[in-house]
Chain A
Amino acid sequence: MTDTSKIPVTVLTGFLGSGKTTLLNRILSENHGQRIAVIENEFGEIGVDHELVINAEEEIFEMNNGCICCTVRGDLIRILGSLMRRRDRFDRIVVETTGMANPGPVAQTFFVDDDMRDQFALDGIVTMVDARHFDLHVDENEEAREQIAFADVIVLNKTDLVTPAELDALERRVRAMNALARVVRADPSERARIPMESVLGIGGFDLSRALEYKPGFLEPEYPFEWAGRYRLEAGRHHLRLEPGPDPTMGLALFQAAPQDETAHDAAERAFKWFSDDVEPVSQERALVPGDELVILDLEPRGAKRFACDIRAPGDYWLVTQHLPDEFALQLVDPLGTVLQPALQQSFDPGHSHDDDIGSLSLETEQPLDPRKFQDWLGRELQVQGASIYRMKGFLHFKGVPDRIVIQGVHMLTDNTSLGPWGDRPRRTQLVFIGRRLDTESLMTGFDACLAE
Chain B
Amino acid sequence: MPDLLRFDHDHAVDQRAAEYRSAARAWTCDALSLDESATVLVTELCCLEPDCPPRVVLIAVFAPHTPRRQCRIHCALADLDEARVRQAWLAPTSCGDSHD
Spell out A's residues near B (CB within 8 Å): 59, 61-67, 69-70, 74, 77-78, 80-82, 85, 111-116, 118, 370, 373-374, 377-378, 381-382, 385, 395, 397, 400, 402, 404, 411-413, 415-417
The residue in chain A whose Cβ has the minimal distance to the Cβ of B40 is A81
CB pair B42–A78 under 8 Å, yes or no, is no
Expressed in whole angstroms, the minimum distance between the Cβ of A78 and any Cβ of chain B is 4
Residues on the A chain within 8 Å of B36, using CB: 85
Selected from A66, A404, A411, A417, the residue in CB contact (under 8 A) with B3 is A411
Expressed in whole angstroms, the minimum distance between the Cβ of A228 and any Cβ of chain B is 46
| B79 at the binding interface (Cβ < 8 Å) | no
CB pair A113–B42 under 8 Å, yes or no, is yes
Residues on the B chain within 8 Å of A411, using CB: 1-3
CB pair B5–A378 under 8 Å, yes or no, is yes
Residues on the B chain within 8 Å of A402, using CB: 9
CB pair A113–B7 under 8 Å, yes or no, is no
Given contacts A63-B43, A77-B41, A78-B39, contact A412 B7 (CB under 8 A): no
Spell out B's residues near A (CB within 8 Å): 1-3, 5-9, 14, 17-18, 21, 36-39, 41-43, 45-46, 48-49, 58, 60, 62, 64, 68, 97, 99
Residues on the A chain within 8 Å of B41, using CB: 77, 112-113, 115-116
Known: A63-B58, A81-B39, A113-B41. 4 other contacts (CB 8 A): A59-B68, A65-B48, A77-B41, A411-B3
Report the Cα distance A412→B27, complex, angstroms: 26
Selected from A113, A370, A382, the residue in CB contact (under 8 A) with B2 is A382
- The 6 residue pairs across chains A and B that have the minimum distance between CB atoms: A81-B39, A411-B2, A113-B43, A381-B2, A78-B62, A411-B1
Report the Cα distance A78→B46, complex, angstroms: 24
Expressed in whole angstroms, the minimum distance between the Cβ of B1 and any Cβ of chain A is 5
Expressed in whole angstroms, the minimum distance between the Cβ of B63 and any Cβ of chain A is 8
Residues on the A chain within 8 Å of B8, using CB: 370
Residues on the B chain within 8 Å of A397, using CB: 7
Selected from B7, B58, B64, the residue in CB contact (under 8 A) with A370 is B7
